Amino acid sequence: MTAPTGAAAYLPILDWGRRYDRSTLVSDLVAAVIVTLMLIPQSLAYAQLAGLPAQAGLYASIAPLVLYALLGTSRVLAVGPVAVVSLMTASTVGGFAAQGTAPYAAIALTLAFLSGAMLLVMGLLRWGFLAHFLSHPVISGFITASALLIAAGQLKVLMGVKVEGAHFFELVGGLVRHASEVHVLTAALGVTMVAFLFWARRGLKPLLVRLGLPARGADLAAKAAPVVGIALSAALTWQLQWAQQGVKIVGTVPQGLPPLTLPLWDLALWKELALPALLISVVGFVESVSVGQTLAARRRQRIEPDRELVALGAGNLGAAFTGGFPVTGGFARSVVNFDAGAQTPAAGVFTAVGILAAALLLTPALYFVPQATLAATIVVAVLSLVDLSVFRHTWAYSKSDFSAAVATVLVTLGAGVEAGLIAGVGLSLAMFVYRTSRPHIAEVGLVAGTEHFRNVQRHTVQTDEAVLGLRVDESLYFANARALEDRLNEEVARRPSLRHVVLQCSAINDIDASALESLDAIDARLRDAGITLHLSEVKGPVMDRLKGTELLQHLRGQVFLTHYQAVQALAGKDALAA
Amino acid sequence: MTAPTGAAAYLPILDWGRRYDRSTLVSDLVAAVIVTLMLIPQSLAYAQLAGLPAQAGLYASIAPLVLYALLGTSRVLAVGPVAVVSLMTASTVGGFAAQGTAPYAAIALTLAFLSGAMLLVMGLLRWGFLAHFLSHPVISGFITASALLIAAGQLKVLMGVKVEGAHFFELVGGLVRHASEVHVLTAALGVTMVAFLFWARRGLKPLLVRLGLPARGADLAAKAAPVVGIALSAALTWQLQWAQQGVKIVGTVPQGLPPLTLPLWDLALWKELALPALLISVVGFVESVSVGQTLAARRRQRIEPDRELVALGAGNLGAAFTGGFPVTGGFARSVVNFDAGAQTPAAGVFTAVGILAAALLLTPALYFVPQATLAATIVVAVLSLVDLSVFRHTWAYSKSDFSAAVATVLVTLGAGVEAGLIAGVGLSLAMFVYRTSRPHIAEVGLVAGTEHFRNVQRHTVQTDEAVLGLRVDESLYFANARALEDRLNEEVARRPSLRHVVLQCSAINDIDASALESLDAIDARLRDAGITLHLSEVKGPVMDRLKGTELLQHLRGQVFLTHYQAVQALAGKDALAA
């Protein structure tokens, strides 16, 4: 596939729209029906998780889906409410208003507005690289901890218990303390639904295949199990009047088009929402891009991160103006869309039409849906996100990655999602900087039969008493410039017959102003001790900047192309001198 | 000089005390007299700058000097109040209490206590490396901006004007607005003193030499000029009754030993003082260590940063319990001590005795010292710290160092010393991380007649269509792992006849868990495209960690000792295959 050019590069619909035909239409329509069936309960559930009324979940799955379909570069990504972003929304907005109130909903859509604006600006500035600062262990730890936090939060709904608290340990402690207050009927319903959903994931498809369905059809039918379970539980609740016995239900969901809403124009509020909005934007972007990339790679397509930012930004702005809350590209819905055979973003538009129809016609049918069964769908969905393998892998490979992952998990569980994310990113950057501040410095010698120089402590190499070759395994900058000075002072003190020091610069990718001063000082000190400083294998970009500095003007030694040439020339000189 | 061992390594007095003789004693005593003469006005002036009564300056120059002499590793460093730390003290304590009140003094010594405790702990943990995170351009910018800020703050004292405000632009604006309210007599006194001090720096020594004094004596006498100027101005103020005409004087300074004081035991206050105390500790440590190292190098002695931390910590604790405020090793006083011939820390103890005598006997004589002449000594002292050359140097060499310096200056002037320091350090670390997140990746080829590989765009080299050699000029970690993936995708798309990719790892000093996953993904994607991934010149520490990872188990290609061997082997294979 060649990359589209011109206007099509910015409006992908001009590219795929031209080649749209009947068979593509059928594929897209089939996918849209299946995704719609899946999204109706999911939208209600994530609205509940975000602390918003059920209809907000439906609204957040309409305009954002259409806007992404117009602007996004993934052909199958489905944008809407997702678990982690809904949790982050609840955690942020909960600090300003009580769940279920009008101000709460207004602040939630203001958050979507700010997040959308930030994503848009980041996209226009081509700042997609910001997402790279979330390392794999941090993302992995964050998703796992968020999933545990979400599951713990939904357990109280599933059990019909009232528990105060927002952090994992508070929630779990509260559940244990209030265990005697469990509402038995609610809990029975919730636990049954959890069991059914787990069974549907594993056992339903083989059963349907045995009953004669083709494998693909059985697979898709199994994906619709949550809808069936919720419909069944709603029917039972209605017929057996469980609501009168204390089972909490979704209740009245207004019927109609998504409303036109405006975010709050309150600069003081914006200032307080800025950091959470940024974190939601980055997390949403990372989740969306990784889903998009995974699915695009399977069909050898590509997505463009900077344009994804713009599309997700537009999606969130869409959510803000139509009664929604922060959204992003979701994993489960996108995979289902892909598996169901969606070919173009038109499938997303058809899905949006499906959800719109549900908002217009289906909401009375949602009245008796028990909150506990929605909680059950959330618990089952998020538990599949828990992945502890990152701890095993990083423990074996890198203790600093391991500690970043552990810190992210513990801080997220104990102090919330924002603090957890900041702790993880901050710690991984701090450890990177710390490592680079203590560089590995190796004395090198010639590997016999080659022109290659390696660490004298690891290889059998030839060295020369008068010529010391040192390789600094790090760019030289302010935090590590002293380390080289200290090491050279030591080496000079230890070696009375030393005449030349050659710094092999093959691993020095940059020399900042502080390190340049240090090199000047090193050169001066070595000269005082009757030793000449040389450089070898200085890289092009580094050499470009060194030209014209006082260091090169004052340097008595030379800059050699290769370390081998340096050692040959200097050993030769010494032989002449001797 | 050999490093002392055993107990002497921790109590240097056991080392130099054993060799102490009459000639050393005379040298130390002479130096002490000269430093004492210089310190009396300086202590008063810096107490004024810190917003404290004059005696606090004297007290802060007694116990800290003695404690440093016992524990410090520099032989000539003089510890006491210094300009930048006094400014930082005023800026911090001013946020909690009004200058001149008892709570203000109590908070100042609490700040000294916290700073002392932090320095001590940092020393015991051997955290001296923290100081390396202040890059030269940031320190330089910070000192320059602090000096301008101090000078602007003292100008109002020197002019006898009342100006509100703590930031540079507020102060300068206020001075301009209140220019008509200048107290003429005060200003005349202040400006005369400034002129005298500037002249004394340049013109006094040559004059004294012409009058027949030996050069060294003339030099030291010129250093005593501030004392003479202050004594003269005090005598005039007394005789001509200038105080009645509105010239502000130091007034009553209590006579006696330093008091025993206790810091405030208030955890809430400690929490708020923690960050300023940390910044004061780090700035004080950097200033002290750079003075100490400069002077030690001139006599081929050494100082030990981690033990300096302990000694400065003890000095600050001493200040906290004897009515002082935060202190550190000062540049001017240490240089004078060195020039005056101090041989051992005993000179510091003698100086402390001299200041103690002043506190006991001399304070009535300080009554008539005009505040404007003290302000003049501060202005002249700090203006010598202004150094604009850092902007010229960094502009030519490194725009990112330049912008760190400029940010430090502007934020320090506009928002205060703490914000300036944090902005400078934060920005320089952020730019370092940003640079490493966009690594230079070069295609390399063989330099004819060598076994050395260089960038094809900069050198005339031999390459092979089937074998691509890439050198990544950065450690691979989470922030840049994607950059390599993207580059390889491009290269593979461009080169239909590509069979082998060899990553030359000579500049890769570390591979973190995220980058390892990326390499796994790269290997899988290349394999799908029929291309084999190889590594060459992997460093020992990196190879140690790669062993046992899935990457090496799955890798179809090899890990070659040298890039030359890799290219020879692979070109050979292809020849066989062809």
Q: Say if CB A261 and CB A321 are below 8 A apart.
A: yes
Q: What is the mean pLDDT of residues B406-425?
A: 92
Yes or no, beta carbons of A507 and B512 under 8 Å apart: no
A113 domain-assigned: yes
| Residues of A with Cβ-Cβ distance to B396 under 8 angstroms | 548
CB contact under 8 A, B129 and A438: yes
- C-alpha closest to that of A217 among A230, A208, A225: A208
Helical pair A136-159 and A83-93, crossing angle rounded to 10 deg: 70
Which residue carries 């997402």 as its tokens? A131
Mean pLDDT of A416-437: 90
Domain co-membership, B421 together with B458? no
* Res A17: pLDDT: 80
Say whether both B431 and B446 belong to one domain.
no
Q: Tell me: pLDDT of A4 over 60.
A: no
Which residue from B133, B479, B513 is facing A132, i.e. has the nearest CB?
B479
**Residues 6+ positions from B348 with CB-CB distance below 8 Å:** B32, B65, B66, B68, B69, B77, B78, B79, B337, B342
Residues A445 and A392 in one domain: no
Question: Is A136 an interface residue toward B (CB < 8 Å)?
Answer: yes
pTM above threshold 0.80: yes
What pLDDT digit, counting tens, does each position of A342-392 carry? Answer: 889 999 999 999 999 999 998 888 899 999 998 998 898 888 888 888 899
8 A C-beta contact, residue A504 and residue A510: no
Looking at beta carbons, which residues of chain A come within 8 Å of B454?
540, 561
A-chain residues near B133 (CB < 8 A): 433, 437, 478-479
Query: Is B4's pLDDT higher than 70?
Result: no
SS3 A50: coil
Q: Which of A400, A427, A455 is the last residue of a domain?
A: A400
User: How near does any CA of chain B get to the CA of A58, in Å?
Assistant: 35
Contacts of A479 in chain B (CB under 8 A): 129, 132-133, 135, 432
Asked if residue A92 belongs to a domain, the reply is yes
pLDDT in the model for residue A576:
41
Looking at CA atoms only, how far is residue B295 from chain A in angstroms? Answer: 15
Q: Does a structural domain hold residue A405?
A: no
> Nearest residue on chain B to A456, judged by CA atoms?
B540
Residue with the larger pLDDT of the pair B467 and A14: B467
Express each pLDDT in A525-562 by its tens digit: 888 888 999 999 999 889 999 988 888 988 889 999 99
The answer to whether the CB atoms of B507 and A512 lie below 8 A apart is no
Q: Yes or no: say if B310 and B119 are a contact pair by the CB < 8 Å rule.
A: yes
Q: In sequence order, what are the residues at sequence separation of 6 or more whose Cβ sits closer than 8 angstroms to the Cβ of residue A463?
A: A443, A445, A446, A456, A469
Residues B257 and B338 in one domain: yes
CB contact under 8 A, B562 and A509: no
Is A433 in contact with B438 (Cβ distance < 8 A)? Answer: no
- Would you say residue A194 lies in a domain? yes
Q: What is the CA radius of gyration of chain A?
A: 31
Mean residue pLDDT of chain B comes to 89
Q: What percent of chain A has pLDDT over 70?
A: 97
Residues 6+ apart with CB under 8 A from B339: B219, B220, B223
pLDDT digits (tens, 9 = 90+) for A138-148: 988 998 998 99
- Residue B446 β-bridge partners: B453, B462
Instruction: Please tell me the distance from the alpha carbon of residue A104 to that of residue A95, in angstroms, as a whole number.
Output: 10
- Any domain includes B13: no
Å from B95 to nearest chain A CA?
Answer: 24
Residues in B 190-219 with any Cβ partner in A closer than 8 A: none
Q: Name the B residues in 380-439 with CB < 8 Å from any A CB.
A: 393-394, 396-398, 400-401, 428-429, 432-433, 435-439
Supply the pLDDT for residue B577: 40
Q: In the prediction, which pLDDT does B6 show?
A: 62
Looking at residue A37, its pLDDT comes to: 85
Inspect the interface and report whether the beta carbons of B512 and A135 lie closer than 8 Å: yes
Residue A2 lies in a domain: no
Q: Using a CB–CB cutoff of 8 Å, tell me whether A450 touches chain B.
A: yes
This complex has an ipTM of: 0.82
Average pLDDT of span A440-457: 90
**Same domain? A220 vs A359:** yes
Mean pLDDT of B53-76: 93
- DSSP-derived 3-state class of residue B467: strand
Q: Residue B135 and residue A439: Cβ atoms within 8 Å?
A: no
Bridge partners, residue A325, by sequence: none
Q: Is the pLDDT of residue A333 over 60?
A: yes
A506 touches B at CB < 8 Å: yes
Are residues B338 and B410 located together in one domain of the fold?
Answer: no
- Is there a single domain that holds both residue B509 and residue B554? yes
How far apart CA A121 and CA A40 sit, in angstroms, is: 31
Confidence of residue A105 (pLDDT cuts 50, 70, 90): very high
* Mean pLDDT confidence for A78-102: 92
Given this model, what pLDDT does residue A335 score?
A: 84
Q: Across the strands, what pairs with B471?
A: B442, B504
How does strand A461-462 pair with strand A441-447?
A: antiparallel
Give the pLDDT mean for B477-492: 87
For the segment B552-556, the average pLDDT, to the nearest whole number, is: 89
B493 touches chain A (CB under 8 A): no
Q: What is the pLDDT of residues B398-413, one digit of tens each?
A: 889 999 999 999 999 9
DSSP B97: S
Separation of alpha carbons A231 and A238, rounded Å: 11
Say if residue A211 is in the same domain as residue A140. Answer: yes
Q: Which of A136, A439, A564 sits opposite B478 (nearest CB)?
A: A136
Question: Nearest chain A Cα to B473, which residue?
Answer: A509
Among A398, A452, A540, whose Cβ lies nearest the Cβ of B513?
A398
Number of helices (H) and strands (E), helices first, in chain A? 25, 9
Q: Which residues in B lie closer than 8 A to residue A545 (C-beta atoms)? A: 397-398
Instruction: Give residue A267's identity as a one-letter amino acid code.
Output: L
Chain B residues touching A451 at Cβ < 8 A: 450-452, 564
Answer yes or no: is pLDDT of A1 > 60: no
Closest chain A residue to the Cα of B140, Cα to Cα: A514
Among B135, B488, B543, most A C-beta atoms within 10 A, so best to mutate, is B135
Contact A326, A26 (CB under 8 A): no
Of A145, A84, A147, A141, nearest to A403 (Cα)? Answer: A141
pLDDT at residue A578, rounded to an integer? 37
Same-domain pairing of B433 and B454: no
**Contact across the interface for B561 and A480, Cβ inside 8 Å:** no
Q: Do B437 and A133 touch (CB under 8 A)?
A: yes
Q: How many structural domains does chain A have?
A: 2
pLDDT (0 to 100) of residue B8:
65
Mean pLDDT over residues B347-359, rounded? 93
CB contact under 8 A, B480 and A132: yes
**Residues B420 and B466 occupy one common structural domain:** no
Q: Which amino acid is at A553?
A: Q
The parent domain of residue A530 ranges over 441-577
Q: Which amino acid is it at B243?
A: A
Torsion A518-A523-A528-A533 (CA) sign:
positive
Find residues 522-541 of chain A whose CB sits inside 8 Å of chain B: 537, 539-541
Whether B135 and B232 map to the same domain: the answer is yes
pLDDT in tens, B137-164: 998 899 899 899 989 988 988 998 888 8
Residues A453 and A564 placed together within one structural domain of the fold: yes
Residue A433 falls inside a structural domain: no
What is the pLDDT confidence band of residue B58, given thresholds at 50, 70 and 90? very high
Question: For the ranges A420-429, B6-15, B130-139, which has the lowest average pLDDT?
Answer: B6-15
- Confidence band, pLDDT 50/70/90 cuts, at residue B453: very high
In-domain check, residue A489: yes
Compute the average pLDDT of residues A199-217: 86
Residue after which a domain boundary falls, among A349, A373, A400: A400
> Is the CB of A450 less than 8 angstroms away from the CB of B564?
yes
Q: Which of A142, A432, A450 to mutate to test the interface with B (most CBs of B within 10 A)?
A: A432
Which residues of chain B make contact with A438, given a CB cutoff of 8 A? 129
- Out of B397, B474, B507, the one facing A549 most closely (by C-beta) is B397
B72: its two tokens:
């410090």
CATH number of the domain bearing residue A509: 3.30.750.24
Q: Report the pLDDT value the prediction gives residue B578, as an integer from 0 to 100.
A: 37
In chain B, which among 18-47 make CB contacts under 8 A with chain A?
Answer: none
A338 to chain B, minimum CA–CA distance in Å? 21
DSSP state of A522: H
A269 and B CB contact within 8 Å: no
Please give the mean pLDDT across all residues of chain A.
Answer: 89
Structure-model confidence comparison of residues B217 and A247, the more confident one: A247
The answer to whether B397 and A516 are in contact (CB under 8 A) is: yes
Last residue of a domain, one of B366, B388, B410: B388
Question: Among residues A383, A388, A328, which one has the least CA distance to residue A140?
Answer: A388
Give A575's pLDDT tier (boundaries 50, 70, 90).
very low
* Number of residues that make up chain B: 578
- Residue among A129, A398, A545 minimizing CB distance to B397: A545
